[in-house]
Chain A
Amino acid sequence: MRRLFLAGTAAILLSAAAAAAGAASYTADPQQSRLEFVGVQAGAEFKGVFHKFTANVDFAPDTLAASRIEVQIDMNSVDSRDTDRDTTIRGKDIFDVAHNPTAHYVTKTITKTATGFSAVGALTLHGVTKDVPIDFQFVPAAAGATLTGKAKLNRLDFGVGQGDWKSTENVGDGVKINFSLVLKPKT
């Protein structure tokens, strides 16, 4: 009985070690990686990016249980190619960067799909944490990998848009997220 217990413990430890070893660790190259959002304003889509974000990725296609994606976003680095709009977005009625300077995303579960992978993760945005699913592709490259994907969320779920901006007449609720991370192995 005791031997069986030891064997079992050893097996669990070994598999955990294998999983940890199997899921390689990466960071996103800030120069080449891109985090884009697409909102709807006055009935038309507009695109913006976050220039500053960090991403830490532990990933191996065959050890998904040990894989995770974690992203931290500097909300001040929002750029929608219009300073008026960026100032408004940073303000207290929308991102309120003075009180919520960062957003954070970390996956809870990752599963294989027909076309790639999907994950459910917790997004903390504007001080509110909610689950947001993402779909992505993971393509190993010579020195690292690329991780590209997309997500959809409703800004009002996170209280993004107070006062006049609560209305979805001028600014739509749905926001699309597109990301493309160029991953380098962690040293």
Chain B
Amino acid sequence: MRKLVRVLVWAAVAVAGASGLAAIAFERGEPLNATWFVIAAACTYLVAYRFYSAFIAAKVLVLDPNRATPAERLDDGRDFVPTNKWVLLGHHFAAIAGPGPLVGPTLAAQFGYLPGTLWLIIGSVLGGCVQDFVILFCSIRRDGKSLGQMAREEVGKYGGFIAQLAVLIIMIILLAVVGLVIVNALKASPWGTFTLAMTLPIAMLMGLYLRYWRPGRVLEASGFGVALIVFVVFAGQWVAASTSWARAFTFTGPALAIAIIIYGFAASAMPIWLLLAPRDYLSAFIKAGAIFALAGGILLVRPEIQMPALSRFAGGNGPVFAGKIFPFCFITIACGAVSGFHALISSGTTPKMIMRETEARLIGYGAMLMESFVGVMAMVAACALSPGVYFAINSPPAIVGATTSTAAQTISSWGYALAPQTMTDLAHMVGEQTLLNRAGGAPSLAVGMAQIFSRTIGGPHLMAVWYHFAIMFEALFILTVLDAGTRVGRFMVQDLLGHVSKPLGRAGSYPAVVFSSALIVGAWGYFLYEGVLDPLGGINSLWPLFGISNQLLAAVALVVATTILLKMGKLRWIWVTVFPMAALVTVTMVASYQKIFSPDPRLGFLSTANGLTARIHAGSVPAAMLADTWRLIFNQRLDAVITAALALMVLALVANALVVWARILSGVTPPVLHEAPYLATQWAEGD
């Protein structure tokens, strides 16, 4: 009887999920409520978790609850710490949830709501969750070894080197692109800039409290930190209303870029306890609060989706970024569906804290489902805006013009009605001078969130506060990624420099720290500054570059996972990792090829460079613009080289893996696994 009830309940969940997916896929011309997105996503995730992840756990990985994990065998109270599975789920989710699943879906909304939503749901269930889960399992079986170490041991020495180099390049592109998102959100915004600037002294005050007064009392420090943050979000409106204060906090894009570069350098070289760690605590609390508030707001308000299922830009030539749905929807969504970066977390702290192998299913697969759900909510918030407003916020001036009237005229000519007054009124409502030309996803997401929140609490007159709260929330945790990423990048640079010069590799040497910090900050700072000056908005070239590199890292992780499964004798189930791996390699190779060689100057790096060179030689570039144009040409060629280098590295790794697989399958090489020896757990069931 109980079994029958279970079957009926799961059948009902599956039917509800299928109905949700059908509603969003087949709805045409009728108002579509956001509730369908929530039903489609939540039910699909439940079914996938209940059946697909259980299948992987039982048949493919054969998780063993009686095998001692590294947390039990190597427990040292510091790195290896046995941790309750629900606590670890919180830790792991906080670590993997960054700005990517918010920004990516918002940008991908230019294709319409359908392609991005489907990829968020399907991509995570069959790709992202599988990657996180399998890599976590592999790392647990290897005493918490990193992806690079596993690649070196299981695939070959090239694998490890490629993974390490790919991570460094991704880090540089990632930091540049998230910096650009902040710049586009804060330029000419005294309220937003003031709020974010005030988070510095607040974080430092928390740092002093945690360091000297109450060491490690995170909740106390975060409590007063969050209260002060809420206060400065409100206080920002007084700054914006005061002529002199507003002038002091109004910056151009290049000025903000320089400020962020200086900040990145300082944060990397400063003691961790003073700024980085307290900001991370603040960011984690505000992130959790904002995500829950957005989910609650969507369920309460149930906004109608204004964006069409497929926009006129599905075939390419979109104003936000160039390229067709295939492959650029997948590249743009990135972290919300599959993120190579997660493999670094799944083979970092988490495997050292897990108490039982069987818990890898909840933490690896489950946390990624939660992240994907955040991506779906971001898609809903962006698509609840009218398409005209969405394109006005996210399009660069080179395409829609720099005034409300030219933008309204251009966007209306695309078939998305927009009156100039709409943008003026909206900017006024959110307390900004303008919302035009703010490519990057953060402002349009903030407007979408503010509309949802203000319909829940406070009404239209709180819209400006909600908007700036959303901007502060996005900028705060982007800065956390910037701080932490710069610091890790610095260690990677020092690691590489150590091979050339021993003193430069010393982590404790201050000149070495300053030098390597300058190198890593200089690298991402260069891309950031050039992105700010890019007439097409920077996001057009940087976000696809980030997406390609992130998805290539995911391909690396899945190559490692496939090799390990093959060595485990799981040839029958190898499709579990081979299918997403093949899909990612195909998508990224097509995207890389198009970004390098497409004849469309908005899409192909080389055709842009060649077109500009031809214009210089034809004498159609004014003398005053010559230097800038040459710099733009150089940058396009540099982007092409980086894309080609990443693609070649992954092709080399895949070729290396194919040789290893062929040798194992033909019996030439015995399948040697590098697992830690089996040891039975000493913990009783229920511990």
**Do A and B come from the same complex?**
no
Residues of B within 8 A of A (CB): none
